[in-house]
Structure 1
């Protein structure tokens, strides 16, 4: 599987947690960044990108499924855990919020967003 899975260093105190969603030296390559808020039980993704590499960073609880050719992977990210995934073009991905509160994921992409020519091909990995 061509996906890079990282567990960023987390700094926590009674107020919550802080972690770097993307290493600073990776920032210049990014052409799009957005925050994704997902309601409990909802699914995001279920697609792959034709051109762009996407970095996703978020905190659990999340169910993540990936498909790279014939290879499949499922990740369970538990409450309080954080993850950073670097997903190259052609790797399908889906994320389900399996918690009881909205989840937040930061998404970075090497491709700018273009509503006329979106860099997305639908592929369902998690049924909504």
Structure 2
């Protein structure tokens, strides 16, 4: 091939009130042989993604493009933890199984997450809002 090929993604993008998401490798038909799933999502200002945990999968999350707050707790524990990400450089997090987690966009514009699971079946389990829980404790 001696040209750049533009690959249409319209049928592979999902959208909701929080922003958009895509699994770029699956859009290319590349799934076999990969150890897990990669997807990229946007977060509109003030929106939350997450409020879930994975029973067996480890998740890696790259946060970039603006300020964010990451909140997490061990499943069934009461103490909620948080970390702030500024917009000076991307931040990478490793999230083990059974850690409830969520991200809120603290910026005035969209931010982005590149998320990788070590499984094609990330066994996502929803949990109550961690930001509501965190605000009740502070």
SS in 2 for 1:126: helix
Unaligned runs of 5+ in 2: 1-32, 133-138
Given candidates 67, 83, 88, the residue that maps to 1:61 is 67
Higher relative CO (CA 8 A, sep ≥ 6), structure 1 or 2?
1
Deviates more, 1:56-65 or 1:75-84: 75-84
Correspondence for 2:23: none
Rate the CA distance shift 1:110–1:80 in 2: closer, same or farther, 3 A. same
C-alpha RMSD over aligned residues: 1.9
Unaligned runs of 5+ in 1: 1-27
Q: Residue by residue, what CA displacement relative to the aligned partner does 1:46-81 show, whole Å, maximum 9, x if unpaired?
A: 100111100001123001101024443111111223
Q: If the length of structure 2 is used for normalisation, what is the TM-score? A: 0.63
Q: Which has the larger radius of gyration?
A: 2
SS in 2 for 1:40: coil
C-alpha separation between the residues in 1 aligned to 2:63 and 2:109? 14
Q: What is the aligned length?
A: 96
Rate the CA distance shift 1:57–1:30 in 2: closer, same or farther, 3 A. farther
Correspondence for 2:91: 83
- Greater share of strand: 1
